[in-house]
């Protein structure tokens, strides 16, 4: 009897061990946080409507910022080639100037020395001219050696070079060599404006000595002022010469200025943007270089893949649409969008999807996004 009980207990123990071995650990379920499954009731309540993107002609409008700029040929830095002391000037920043107008008077003894050297060279030239003629006549008559004639002729040519170089130096500082004589020698030299425009900077004061490399004044010709607009890399290829736009000062948005694109930069800087240069159609304005501008440009119409604006949802700073194949399962897909017009938004090309063959939720997208968020919170 005792053996029978031991045998029964052994069988129960073995059966118990097999039962424990049959118990398996539950499998972990991986959650998909980009997909939502709906039944028919949920579809009706959410008002889900799907459609495929279509080809739409969208009038592209691009907004951009920029500054009032001046081309290099319209901005002049005025210096004085020989240096000297500034004797007088009446210029102030903002003052208008005319080409040829005296804008300053310079003073230095080197100007006197230059005029003296020129008049002395001219006087010697008169002597050498006569001497060359005299030596030539003697040489032709064999009354003097040809060597003397050649020496005098050499001095004559050297003097010609000297006079020419002194003439050019006088012209550089604004003195007309043809009118210079003993009685007109002066220690003062007038400095003339090279352009019509206005003064932007005055870097000197009366009595200050300036070197040839120092900039005394900076002048600007307002006729060539243009708008330099910064355009992002993705948009810059859409700009061509002749495109019209409207710009305004950042703090005076009510005043508009019509512009036309004249040049598009061929390089992109570190901010992934490039410059578009625009000409002001009406030159009568009070804009100054450096002023900040905001602009709106209307680009050419273009046919593009587009979807209803209701289909695009924004989440955490990015844009998404919901895709479906069977009408009950919807997956979130990130997109890049372009221009918007008449309730449609441009879909940029996608390396994975062919938009015209893709079914998209066009109504109820935000309802699906809410369900997706709830699903994520529950998990």
What's the mean per-residue pLDDT of the chain? 84
pLDDT of residue 13: 53
pLDDT in tens, 347-364: 888 877 788 888 999 998
Residue 203 corresponds to which tokens in the numbers above?
């870097």
Residue 85 falls in which region: left (phi positive, over 0), alpha (psi -120 to 50) or beta: beta
Please report the pLDDT score of residue 165 as a whole number: 94
pLDDT value at 27 more than 60: no
**In 173-303, which residue ranges form alpha helices assigned H by DSSP?**
233-236
Structure tokens, 58: 């969208």
Enter the tokens of residue 8. 């029964």
Q: Report the distance separating Cα 44 and Cα 104, nearest Å.
A: 84
Angle CA 115–120–124, to nearest 5:
150
Residue 87 backbone phi and psi in degrees, to 5: -85, -50
Q: What is the pLDDT of residue 144?
A: 61
Strand-pairing partners, residue 172, are none
For residue 302, the cross-strand partners are: 58
pLDDT computed for residue 24 by the predictor: 41
* pLDDT above 90 for 104: yes
pLDDT per position as a tens digit, 173-212: 989 999 999 999 999 999 999 999 889 899 999 999 999 9
Considering the chain, what percentage of its residues have pLDDT values greater than 70? 88
Mean pLDDT of 318-346: 88
Residue 67, classified by CB atoms within 10 Å of its CB into exposed (0-12), middle (13-18) or buried (19+), is middle
Q: How far apart are CA 91 and CA 200, in angstroms?
A: 10
Share of residues in the chain with pLDDT > 90 (%): 35
* Whole-angstrom distance, CA of residue 110 vs CA of residue 81: 12
Name the phi and psi angles at 266, rounded to 5.
Answer: -100, 15
pLDDT over 90 at 298, yes or no: no
Q: Residue 373: CB partners within 8 Å, gap ≥ 6?
A: none
**Picking from 158-162, 224-228, 234-238, which range would have the lowest pLDDT averaged per residue?**
234-238
Render pLDDT for 30-53 as a digit per residue (tens, 0 to 9).
Answer: 345 788 888 888 888 888 888 889
Q: What is the DSSP string of 18-59?
A: HHHHH--PPPPPPP-TTEEE--HHHHHHHT-EEE--EEEEEE
For residues 297 and 274, what is the distance between their CA atoms, to the nearest angstrom? 15
pLDDT grade, residue 143 (50/70/90)?
Answer: low
**What's the rounded mean pLDDT across residues 273-280?**
91
> Which of 373 and 66 is assigned the larger pLDDT?
66
Q: What does the pLDDT read at residue 136?
A: 78
Mean pLDDT of the 160-168 span: 94
- Per-residue model confidence (pLDDT) at position 63: 87
Average pLDDT over residues 67-77: 87
More confident residue, 338 or 174: 174
By the 8 A CB rule, do 345 and 336 touch?
no
pLDDT category at 19 given cuts 50, 70, 90 is: very low
Confidence band for 117, pLDDT divided at 50, 70 and 90: very high
Residue from 134, 103, 43 nearest 364 by CA: 43
Q: Which residue has the higher pLDDT, 352 or 68?
A: 68
Specify the pLDDT at position 164: 95
Q: What 3-state DSSP class applies to 140?
A: helix
Instruction: Output the pLDDT for position 32.
Output: 57
Paired tokens of 184: 């007109």
Q: Quick check: 378 pLDDT over 70?
A: no
| DSSP helix/strand/coil, 361 | strand
> Do residues 97 and 124 touch, judged by C-beta distance below 8 A?
no
- Tell me: pLDDT of 149 over 60: yes
Contact 76, 219 (CB under 8 A): yes
300 pLDDT band, cuts 50/70/90, is: low
pLDDT attached to residue 207: 93
Kindly indicate the confidence band of residue 246, based on its pLDDT and cuts at 50, 70 and 90: very high
């Amino acid at each position: 009897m005792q053996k029978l009980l031991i045998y029964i207990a052994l069988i129960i123990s073995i059966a118990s061990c097999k039962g424990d071995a049959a118990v398996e650990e539950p499998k972990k379920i991986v959650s998909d946080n980009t997909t939502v499954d709906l039944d028919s009731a949920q579809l009706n309540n959410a008002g889900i409507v799907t459609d495929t993107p279509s080809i739409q002609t969208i009038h592209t409008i691009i907004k951009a910022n920029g500054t009032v700029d001046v081309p290099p040929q319209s901005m002049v830095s005025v210096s004085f080639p020989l240096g000297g002391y500034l004797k007088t000037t009446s210029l102030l920043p903002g003052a208008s100037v005319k080409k040829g107008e005296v804008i300053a008077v310079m003073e230095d003894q080197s100007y006197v020395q230059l005029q003296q050297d020129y008049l002395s060279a001219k006087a010697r030239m008169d002597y050498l001219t006569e001497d060359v003629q005299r030596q030539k006549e003697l040489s032709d008559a064999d009354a003097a050696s040809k060597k003397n004639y050649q020496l005098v002729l050499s001095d004559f040519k050297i003097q010609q070079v000297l006079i020419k170089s002194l003439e050019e130096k006088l012209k550089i500082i604004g003195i007309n060599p043809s009118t210079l004589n003993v009685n007109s020698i002066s220690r003062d030299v007038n400095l003339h404006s090279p352009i019509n425009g206005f003064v932007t900077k005055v870097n000197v004061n009366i009595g200050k000595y300036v070197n040839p490399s120092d900039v005394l004044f900076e002048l600007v010709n307002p006729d060539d002022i243009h708008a330099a607009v910064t355009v992002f890399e993705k948009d810059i290829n859409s700009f061509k010469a002749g495109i019209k736009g409207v710009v305004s000062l950042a703090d005076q948005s009510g005043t508009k200025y019509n512009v036309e694109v004249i040049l598009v930069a061929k390089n992109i800087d570190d901010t992934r943007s490039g410059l578009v240069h625009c000409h002001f159609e009406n030159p009568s304005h009070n804009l100054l270089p450096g002023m900040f501008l905001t602009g709106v440009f209307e680009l050419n119409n273009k046919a593009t893949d587009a979807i209803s604006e209701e289909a695009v949802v924004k989440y955490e700073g990015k844009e998404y649409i919901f895709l479906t194949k069977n009408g009950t399962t919807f997956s979130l897909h990130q997109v890049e969008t372009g221009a918007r017009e008449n309730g449609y938004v441009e879909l940029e090309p996608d390396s994975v999807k062919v938009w015209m063959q893709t079914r998209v939720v066009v109504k109820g997208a935000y309802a699906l996004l809410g369900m997706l968020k709830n699903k994520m919170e529950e998990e």
